[in-house]
């Protein structure tokens, strides 16, 4: 690999070089950084031609030899296959790459998990984090059922399910074990739907015994105001974080609902927003004045990119926040600045519910705001209203000798 002045990209990648460079600038890359990626494309184009690899089949795995040569040569940057992710995203968006996922999956466990993941995303509409956990549990089960001739589902019985659940839940807390139960039931229902098993083995998955006596914990109004005030509204990231915190604290949105909030979901004329919740459910909620002001302040400095998500990363590549961990990071930074203990997004959600309850709202109204599909879920907050519960409490029976 020559260290002198490089020629322009040749072969299959030549037609994509200028468009890719402009794309990187649009994502917030500096001209210097975008130029380094353009040089990478030039080197990669020549390597693909020498190896006889069509650009349509370009993957990070297929180019490991290319990056090994870059590292051996002492190239100071863009030395791993991860450097290709922006290029692969660009080519995939322009339908240059061939979708060869199912073709390269030969292991029966991998095929099953790929199909299950697609089902959870497309049919169930689950959040990415939930999908990852469900696929992880399904992978444990599938690995145990692996045989020389594939995966043996037909011989799966209730006792096998119970044994697997017992081993998988060992050492987990109540909440974590309940997540395992939900994931396992989902995987077993998927197997029935695919015709892999005839028995409704999801009924063999026992519920987790135990009940939490703790009340839903929100944070105080004073702490919340301190948290919001700690955001630096003179900076773009401070305005973004303030708008995110207010959405969590005033409307009780889940972290995933904040991430997927789009520019078209804000109806400024009617003062409402459309919230896309679990399972793709869409609800319209009123937009409180302070939340609207915070959103407007952020949108004034929001980077101008093609992505229609409201909240974006502030550094290149500028695109929507990837997952709910980004929302937790926003709260962690704000709590540190405010000097208060960390409060996760769900605690702010609890604060909305308990505040509405103390203000006289009924459980049905609270459930509509929080996007609960089952009244039993909202009923948890009835435990918070101790004054009303006192009127219902009966005296402890006296013991007669």
- Catalytic-labelled residue, pool 23, 46, 349, 350: 349
DSSP string, 173-220: -HHHHHHHHHHHHHHHHHHHHHTS-SS-GGGGSPPPP----PPP----
Reply yes or no on whether 194 is catalytic. Answer: no
Reply yes or no on whether 346 is catalytic. Answer: yes
- Contacts of residue 241, Cβ cutoff 8 Å, sequence gap at least 6: 231, 330, 333, 334
| Helix, strand, or coil (residue 266) | strand
- Phi/psi for 283 (5° steps) reads -125, 145
Q: How far is Cα 307 from Cα 28, in angstroms, rounded to an integer?
A: 12
Identify whether 345 is preceded by a cis peptide bond (ω within 30 of 0): no
Reply yes or no on whether 254 is catalytic. Answer: yes
Residue 211: how many CB atoms within 10 A of its CB?
A: 7
| Helix, strand, or coil (residue 232) | coil
| Helix, strand, or coil (residue 284) | strand
- Catalytic-labelled residue, pool 194, 346, 358, 364: 346
The DSSP 8-state label assigned to residue 44 in this structure reads H
- Catalytic-labelled residue, pool 278, 319, 328, 333: 278
Q: How far is CA 366 from the centre of its chain?
A: 25
Please give the sequence-ordered ranges of beta strands (E in DSSP) within 202-357, or none if there are none.
266-267, 272-276, 282-286
- Catalytic-labelled residue, pool 240, 254, 302, 347: 254
Q: How far is Cα 348 from Cα 79, in angstroms, rounded to an integer?
A: 42
- Contacts of residue 392, Cβ cutoff 8 Å, sequence gap at least 6: none
Reply yes or no on whether 37 is catalytic. Answer: no
Q: How far is Cα 336 from Cα 346, in angstroms, rounded to an integer?
A: 18
The single residue listed with the structure tokens 């929100």 is: 218
Rounded to a whole number of angstroms, the CA Rg of the chain reads 26
Q: How far is Cα 266 from Cα 287, in angstroms, rounded to an integer?
A: 9
Comparing CA positions, the residue from 229, 215, 213, 211 lying closest to residue 358 is 215
Catalytic machinery residues: 254, 278, 346, 349, 372, 381
């Amino acid at each position: 690999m020559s260290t002198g002045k490089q020629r322009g990209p040749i072969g299959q990648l030549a037609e994509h070089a200028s468009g890719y460079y402009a794309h990187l600038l649009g994502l917030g890359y500096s001209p210097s950084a975008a130029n380094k990626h353009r040089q990478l494309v030039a080197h990669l184009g020549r390597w693909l031609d020498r190896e006889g690899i069509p650009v349509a089949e370009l993957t990070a795995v297929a180019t490991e030899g290319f990056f090994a040569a870059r590292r051996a040569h002492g190239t100071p940057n863009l030395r791993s296959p991860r450097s290709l992710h922006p290029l692969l995203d660009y080519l995939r968006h322009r339908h240059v790459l061939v979708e060869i996922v199912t073709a390269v999956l030969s292991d029966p466990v991998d095929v099953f998990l790929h199909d299950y993941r697609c089902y959870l995303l497309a049919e169930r509409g689950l959040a990415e984090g939930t999908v990852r956990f469900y696929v992880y549990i399904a992978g444990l089960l599938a690995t145990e059922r692996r045989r020389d001739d594939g995966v043996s589902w037909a011989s799966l019985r209730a006792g096998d399910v119970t044994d697997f659940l017992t081993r998988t839940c060992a050492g987990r807390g109540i909440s974590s074990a309940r997540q395992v139960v939900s994931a396992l039931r989902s995987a077993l229902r998927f197997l029935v739907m695919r015709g892999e098993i005839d028995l409704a083995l999801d009924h063999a998955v026992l519920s987790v015994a135990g009940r939490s006596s703790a009340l839903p914990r929100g944070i105080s109004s004073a702490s919340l105001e301190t948290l919001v005030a700690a955001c630096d509204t003179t900076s773009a990231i401070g305005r973004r974080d303030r708008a995110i915190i207010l959405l969590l604290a005033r409307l009780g949105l889940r972290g995933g609902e904040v991430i997927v909030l789009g520019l078209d979901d804000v109806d400024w004329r009617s003062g409402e927003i459309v919230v896309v919740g679990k399972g793709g459910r869409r609800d319209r909620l009123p937009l409180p004045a302070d939340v609207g002001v915070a959103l407007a302040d952020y949108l004034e400095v929001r980077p101008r990119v093609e992505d229609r998500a409201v909240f974006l990363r502030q550094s290149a590549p500028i695109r929507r926040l990837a997952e709910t961990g980004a929302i937790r990071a926003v709260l962690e930074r704000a709590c540190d600045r405010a000097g208060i203990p960390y409060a996760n997004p769900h605690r702010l959600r609890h604060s909305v519910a308990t505040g509405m309850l103390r203000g006289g709202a009924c459980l049905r109204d609270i459930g509509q705001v929080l996007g609960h599909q089952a009244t039993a879920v909202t009923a948890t907050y009835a435990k918070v209203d101790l004054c009303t519960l006192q009127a219902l409490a009966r005296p402890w029976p006296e013991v007669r000798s």
